Structure 1
């Protein structure tokens, strides 16, 4: 039996992580979403709890998803983690988690310009689902200031919307 793969997505809010994760789930991977777990536990961002409490509320959701990821990989299932992994230290920790249970981590980077994100987020800000956290232009500036794009030595694959890349990820 080949080792299960954990596709770990890297990208700022609005970069297309959920769209790609859903496409990969349609190809048989199990999709794990931190945002959906936060929504399940606490409700809507900025509605059921104040926006400034998101990271505090996110921490237990991350651990729940990490446990699910371990269990799925141990059982031989491949997964896609629908979570931004903005910092290299977070990416390193998730890769370590994957390897510890016999999985193969694959980092996939979804780059996006600030202009493209503002266009996408304007439409998304109107939605009310768990994957539609409202993001203002000022918040997006803050996100870019905190985001650490992957470096060449991390071995991340850059996803640019090419369906062939999806097929190559789900081998």
Structure 2
């Protein structure tokens, strides 16, 4: 049964790094942010920030279609998307199950100071995963984020990639 790894974490928590690492281990990596960037350019530079969600919506739908097709084809998938709300995670888990996959949430917790440090560095870049995030915006992100609950099948990522890969391998064997 293919694994469907659903990354849950705030902006700057390390989702893209984990997704890229899992891609090196054979997972198909699907990134909403990179697809929005490919289609529309840089957030707040090539289009107004307030139009992001209307641009993101069709991309999420297209990524979900590919997600399902990859799982149906027997491929392990990692979704590089924040999944801030329980309802979002539930919908992606359901899609994975209906496609014949085993969904697992990988939660990337990070404290505010660490996220601010990472975002300060990232704010200087110009790639698809770079966007300017202020301290005030980060506080808003924390307020809107639903950490995974005890009743969700979750692996809390400690930052050790080898530990995560081992945990995912064990989960496949269940």
**TM-score category, normalised to shorter length:** over 0.9
Which residue matches 2:17?
19
Q: Where does structure 1 differ by over 6 angstroms across 4 or more consecutive aligned residues?
A: none
- Scaled by the length of structure 1, what TM-score is found? 0.96
Written as runs of structure 1 = structure 2, the 5 A alignment for 1:120-139 is: 120-139=118-137
Give how far 1:167 is off: 3.1
Q: How many residues align?
A: 169
Give me the whole-angstrom Cα distance separating, in 2, the residues matched to 1:167 and 1:150.
21
Partner of 1:35: 33
CA distance in 2, matches of 1:53, 1:141: 21
Match of 1:65 among 57, 63, 66: 63
Cα separation, 1, equivalents of 2:89 and 2:9: 11
Displacement after TM superposition at 1:8 (Å): 0.2
* Cα displacement (A) at 1:166: 2.0
Q: Specify the SS of the correspondent of 2:95.
A: helix
State the Cα distance separating 1:126 from its structure 2 match.
0.5
1:155 maps to 153
Residue by residue, what CA displacement relative to the aligned partner does 1:34-81 show, whole Å, maximum 9, x if unpaired?
001111111110111111111121111101110110111111111100
- Separation of aligned partners in 2, 1:147 and 1:5: 24
Q: Deviations over 1:60-116 (max 9, x none)?
A: 110111011011111111110000000000000000000011011010000000111
Does the alignment pair 1:168 with 2:159? no
C-alpha separation between the residues in 2 aligned to 1:19 and 1:113?
17
**What are the within-5 Å matches in structure 2 for residues 54-133 of structure 1?**
54-133=52-131
* Structure 2 spans left out of the alignment, 5+ residues: none
Q: What secondary structure sits across from 1:107 in the alignment?
A: strand
Q: So what's the TM-score if we normalise by structure 2?
A: 0.94
